[in-house]
Amino acid sequence: MRSFKFLCLVFFCFNLSGYAQKDSIKSPGFLKFTHSVWVDSVMTTLSKEERIAQLIMVAAYSNRGEEHKQEILKLVKKQKIGGLIFFQGGPVRQVKLMNKYQEASNVPLLGAIDAEWGIGMRLDSTISYPFQMSLGALQNDSLIYAMGVEVAKQIKRVGLHLNFAPVVDVNNNAANPVINFRSFGENKVKVAEKGIAYMLGLQEHGVLPTAKHFPGHGDTDTDSHYALPRIMHSRARLDNTELYPFREIIKAGIGGVMVAHLDVPALDSTGVPSTLSKPIISGLLKEELGFQGLIVTDAMNMKGVTKDNSPGVVDKDAILAGNDLLEFTEDVPKAIEEIKKAIKKGLISQKEIDDRCRKILAIKQWVGLNKYKPIDLKNIGKDLNSSKAELLNRNLTEASLTVLRNESELLPLRRLDTLKIASISVGGEANYQFQKTLGLYSKINHFNIPYEATKAELDSIKNNISEFNLVIIGLHDDSKYPRNNMKISAEVQSFLKAIAETKKSILTFFKNPYSLANLEVAESASALILTYQDSKNSEDLAAQLIFGGVGANGKLPVSIGEKYKEGDGLIISGGLRFKYTLPEDANMNAKFLNRKIDSLMQQAMDLKAIPGGQILVARDQKVVFHKAYGSQSYSDTTKVKLSDLYDLASVTKITSVLPALMKLKDEGKFSLEAGIDAYLPYFENSNKSGISMRKILAHQAGFKSWIPYWETTLRRNGTYKWKTIKKDSSARFPVKIAENMWLFKNYQKEIFKQIKRSDLEKEQKYLYSGLAFYLFPSIIEKLSKEEFTSYLDANFYDKLGSTSLTYNPMKKYDLDKIIPTENDFFFRKRTIHGKVYDEGAIMMSGVSGNAGLFSNANDVAKLMQMYLNNGTYGGVNYISEATLEEFTKYQFPENGNRRGLGFDKPSLDERSLNGNTAISASDASFGHTGYTGTMVWMDPETKLLFIFLSNRVQPTRDNTLLYKLNTRTNIQQILYDAIIE
């Protein structure tokens, strides 16, 4: 984080100093080496032909076979070419080949790549940053500078030295087929500023950038790869618009400029491509604009320059026009021969060739090739895909998100309990990241339709979404690049428009912004989000934007017809709910976190302490680790999914009873000093009468630890008593314990009776007891005048979006989505799957304050984060800060009691590796563990949240290996160790 802040400071200091001097031109740094000792020494070894060859760069590929490799080696050894530009391939193959080619070359080769959006533009298994049009939406150009730094590191890591980027064309033609999304936009000033930011990141970290495509390729509807575009603007217009970014980036000291293949009559009336035009290159670029750096041609195999020009001859003409470096020369021997002829004819002097050769060699020294070493392949994959680089990638995407409409401040969504949400992905697939991330925030029904859906498909979805009051539409892009076209049929467009006109709707557009001009639904949607391209990051972060996990402040970089203007964009605040991100975003070490947690979980599974589990880690309301491990049980191979539900066991206490009691306390309906008999008169005149709720919740009341209620259902011979359990249900036996096990309807009274009659300990000191938690639901119902589970749903779970937090999960979920617990050999005599493991809880119809809740880690985390946020989450205040502070502090520490009110706390004694929580957990931290192998813990001081869900009671509750290994608290300690100070 410190290094990133330093980079930003460097960038802004530059803006305030050298770049602010508009009338001065900063000279490219490599020029100081043109007459260095090393350059002089190399020059003495080169023949005239070899000096020409230094000006030639040919195309190389790392995804082609041995024949191609030998062709390149021949050019390197025999023709002595100066460099290579690498196209498609992979990083390992690329480095191996570059090392081989360097070994074969007398003079180190200059390596280039088109890495406009990072080396992922050309090499597989590497990072692709957002396209430049996405970056054009950014309001913080220091992020672009940081991208330049990372791209520079990656280019050098694969043994290359030049980046043919940035594109500083002003894209003011929506029909532009070749620049378009590769441009920062239509605002010349912003194009210049962002181009300079990218350039500085590259150049200040040892990679030579080349601004392209001079003199400006933005206002054309012809692709120069296939024909010669003609630009008919006046010189005044060119000076004012197209040339502006080049002028500014030259002043800022860029090292290279690439010349495009364009016919620009206002600059050269002869009709020759600009690549071959001496008035444009030598006259305008060198003399008028004062550029002294490297001038490189666009690819010399493009139709824009090769038409009517033969190989070799066209290369000679490019050199005569003033270019220093020929890119993608098709016939190297012919090119060298033609240039030699030109020297002999006096069309160009040997000194001019030598000066350009020195310039190439100076660049080689500037990038360190005078001290060349082969590139090491060790850890190259990890180096090119670091967490830091991926976080930057996400930050760039997040900063580009643009909201063009937000009626009635719909975004970010609030009051989830009032919304019934459907999502429709158009052109997407069922498992697209957009819908996956949406599902992390609330219950959503997902639908998918193709671009040309049939009437039957559309009618089916129309019928299915009739009951929903909010529809989220994701319009996806199935192409590699965000082209300016629409594949959506008129029927689908009409269908989407009808939805937007009749329901609240959010349209998320994952395509080229120009395409919005022909999309009618964009005018009708309640909210409109633009991501500029379709990627895993853009889908993930757009979904997070909708729910307030992240915000948006992007501005449209281009105008879209008359609908939207360049600069449009609304500011949407984030931080409302969880942000799902990478550990580095919360100043945690991702590599350490993943390696250590994975290792401990694997150990626990290998030793059969647990068959699997879920872990969620959040810091500062940022989910930085969210993984599922292993299988649902030892007896099958069903893998645990992040959406699977676990039996929370005693974690139920702090996820059901405690939030309700805290809310009721805030409302003045519940007092910690009142006795249990004040709320349940049944306990008057019992030995528990007058014992305060404070003591009860702090486990300081002297209650027995537990009562085996189920034993009262059995005869001495182990069979069930006729008055307690039957094989079939009836009005008198309506409580289902398991298949063919139905409990007497009034058995809850028996449980209450046993609690009432139970003895108290001789002293009121700390003894963990769950007895009162069987009673609390009745207290809560009495005080709230609502059914317990309905009260929790309405006041907490539905508002939080914690829809998997539920009692009796089989009422809502299929069995395969619920993790099994133990094999019960003593009461139910079967595998417990889909019902609570706790005997007392199942005998209370599965609803108890002691146990009974099921959930996945993600939904538990929302409630726990609310606690960490002092009672607030998603814009809703649930509990007062004062009440939370009271419940989460030590209550009776003077008696050696570490408990809060319902919450567990760290040990009061000296911490140990085998303690109830991590050694580094602060005294302010709080949480709870569960008998099934669950643990949740929150630490306000470090803003850490830890959720651990498992079913350690597999195969039976006698399996205590999880405790012996201390897996949960060992993992929790890793979280503290992973924090980067």
| Pair of tokens at residue 462 | 């129309």
- Residue 294 backbone class (left: φ over 0; alpha: ψ -120 to 50; beta: rest): beta
Rounded mean pLDDT, 377-386: 96
H or E element, residue 757: helix 747-757
Using DSSP bridges, classify how beta strands 421-426 and 470-475 pair: parallel, antiparallel or unpaired: parallel
**Residue range(s) defining the domain that contains residue 485:** 406-577
Q: Alpha helix locations (H) across 822-914?
A: 839-842, 857-868, 881-887
3-state secondary structure of 460: helix
| CB count in 10 Å sphere of residue 565 | 11
Using DSSP bridges, classify how beta strands 527-530 and 402-406 pair: parallel, antiparallel or unpaired: antiparallel
Contact yes or no for 525/554 (Cβ under 8 A):
no
Question: What contacts 706, CB < 8 A, 6 or more positions away?
Answer: 769, 770, 771
pLDDT band at 1 (very low <50, low <70, confident <90, very high): very low
**Residue 873 domain-assigned (yes or no):** yes
Rounded mean pLDDT, 3-30: 56
**Residue 644 domain-assigned (yes or no):** yes
Same structural domain for residues 513 and 472? yes
Q: CATH number, domain at 323?
A: 3.20.20.300
Q: Which of 322, 354, 384 is the last residue of a domain?
A: 384
Beta bridge partners of 675: 692
Same structural domain for residues 179 and 73? yes
Same structural domain for residues 259 and 160? yes
Question: What percentage of the chain carries pLDDT values higher than 90?
Answer: 88
Does residue 10 have a pLDDT over 70? no
H or E element, residue 646: strand 646-647
Rounded mean pLDDT, 770-791: 97
Same structural domain for residues 59 and 111? yes
Nearest CA among 85, 29, 83, 55 for reference residue 254: 29
Contact yes or no for 79/111 (Cβ under 8 A):
no
Q: How far apart are CA 554 and CA 531, in angstroms?
A: 9
Q: CATH number, domain at 459?
A: 3.40.50.1700
3-state secondary structure of 171: coil
Same structural domain for residues 570 and 605? no
Rounded mean pLDDT, 106-128: 97
Same structural domain for residues 606 and 564? no
DSSP states of 415-428 as a string?
-GGG--EEEEEES-
Q: What is the pLDDT of residues 337-368, one digit of tens each?
A: 999 999 999 999 999 999 999 999 999 999 99
Contact yes or no for 241/248 (Cβ under 8 A):
no
Q: How far apart are CA 450 and CA 476, in angstroms?
A: 10
Rounded mean pLDDT, 448-454: 94
Contact yes or no for 219/176 (Cβ under 8 A):
yes
| Pair of tokens at residue 743 | 């409990």
**Residue 400 domain-assigned (yes or no):** no
**Residue 18 domain-assigned (yes or no):** no
Question: What percentage of the chain carries pLDDT values higher than 70?
Answer: 97
In a 13 Å sphere around the CA of 96, the CA atoms on its Cβ side amount to 11
Same structural domain for residues 434 and 332? no
Q: How far apart are CA 775 and CA 789, in angstroms?
A: 14
**Residue 14 domain-assigned (yes or no):** no
| CB count in 10 Å sphere of residue 386 | 17
Does residue 324 have a pLDDT over 90? yes
Q: How far apart are CA 155 and CA 556, in angstroms?
A: 30
Rounded mean pLDDT, 655-678: 98
Q: What is the pLDDT of residues 26-72, one digit of tens each?
A: 999 999 999 999 999 999 999 999 999 999 999 999 999 999 999 99
Strand order in the sheet with 725-726: 725-726, 741-743, 735-738
**Residue 760 domain-assigned (yes or no):** no
Q: How far apart are CA 922 and CA 861, in angstroms?
A: 19
Q: CATH number, domain at 801?
A: 3.40.710.10
Lowest mean pLDDT among 210-219, 347-356, 512-521: 512-521
**Per-residue model confidence (pLDDT) at position 479:** 87
DSSP letter assigned to residue 31: G
Does residue 522 have a pLDDT over 70? yes
R_g of the chain, CA atoms, integer Å: 35
Number of domains comprising the chain? 3
Q: How far apart are CA 330 and CA 567, in angstroms?
A: 43
Does residue 294 have a pLDDT over 80? yes
Same structural domain for residues 220 and 101? yes
| CB count in 10 Å sphere of residue 277 | 26
Q: How far apart are CA 782 and CA 358, in angstroms?
A: 90
**Per-residue model confidence (pLDDT) at position 723:** 86
Question: What contacts 749, CB < 8 A, 6 or more positions away?
Answer: none
Instruction: Between 924 and 765, name the one with better pLDDT.
Output: 924
Does residue 589 have a pLDDT over 50? yes
Q: What is the pLDDT of residues 637-654, one digit of tens each?
A: 999 999 999 999 999 999
Q: How far apart are CA 724 and CA 733, in angstroms?
A: 8
Same structural domain for residues 312 and 345? yes
Nearest CA among 792, 788, 791 for reference residue 805: 792
**Per-residue model confidence (pLDDT) at position 653:** 98
Question: What contacts 902, CB < 8 A, 6 or more positions away?
Answer: 653, 654, 657, 658, 661, 697, 887, 928
Q: How far apart are CA 938 and CA 619, in angstroms?
A: 10
For the entire predicted model, the pTM comes to 0.94
| Residue whose pair of structure tokens reads 């791209």 in the numeric block | 151
Same structural domain for residues 808 and 910? yes
Q: How far apart are CA 354 and CA 812, in angstroms?
A: 79
Question: What contacts 190, CB < 8 A, 6 or more positions away?
Answer: 136, 184, 557
Q: How far apart are CA 545 and CA 410, in angstroms?
A: 11
Same structural domain for residues 293 and 338? yes
Q: Which of 351, 384, 417 is the last residue of a domain?
A: 384
Q: What is the pLDDT of residues 555-578, one digit of tens each?
A: 999 999 888 999 999 999 999 999
Does residue 23 have a pLDDT over 70? no
Nearest CA among 530, 590, 547, 531 for reference residue 437: 547
Query: Angle at Cα 611 formed by Cα 634 and Cα 440, nearest 5°?
Result: 125
Beta bridge partners of 714: 720
Nearest CA among 167, 174, 135 for reference residue 559: 174
In terms of C-beta density within 10 A (0-12 exposed, 13-18 middle, 19 or more buried), how is residue 886 classed?
middle
pLDDT band at 430 (very low <50, low <70, confident <90, very high): low
| CB count in 10 Å sphere of residue 760 | 15
Q: How far apart are CA 112 and CA 84, in angstroms?
A: 6
Backbone φ, ψ for residue 946 (5° rounding): -130, 125
In a 13 Å sphere around the CA of 344, the CA atoms on its Cβ side amount to 8
**Per-residue model confidence (pLDDT) at position 6:** 43
| Pair of tokens at residue 599 | 């290792």
Q: How far apart are CA 60 and CA 81, in angstroms?
A: 12
Contact yes or no for 328/60 (Cβ under 8 A):
no
pLDDT band at 784 (very low <50, low <70, confident <90, very high): very high
Q: Alpha helix locations (H) across 367-477?
A: 380-384, 387-400, 433-438, 455-464
Mean pLDDT, the chain, rounded, equals 94
**Residue 862 domain-assigned (yes or no):** yes
Nearest CA among 122, 132, 119 for reference residue 532: 132
Q: Alpha helix locations (H) across 465-568?
A: 490-502, 521-524, 536-547
Q: Alpha helix locations (H) across 574-625?
A: 590-606
Same structural domain for residues 227 and 365? yes
**Residue 163 domain-assigned (yes or no):** yes
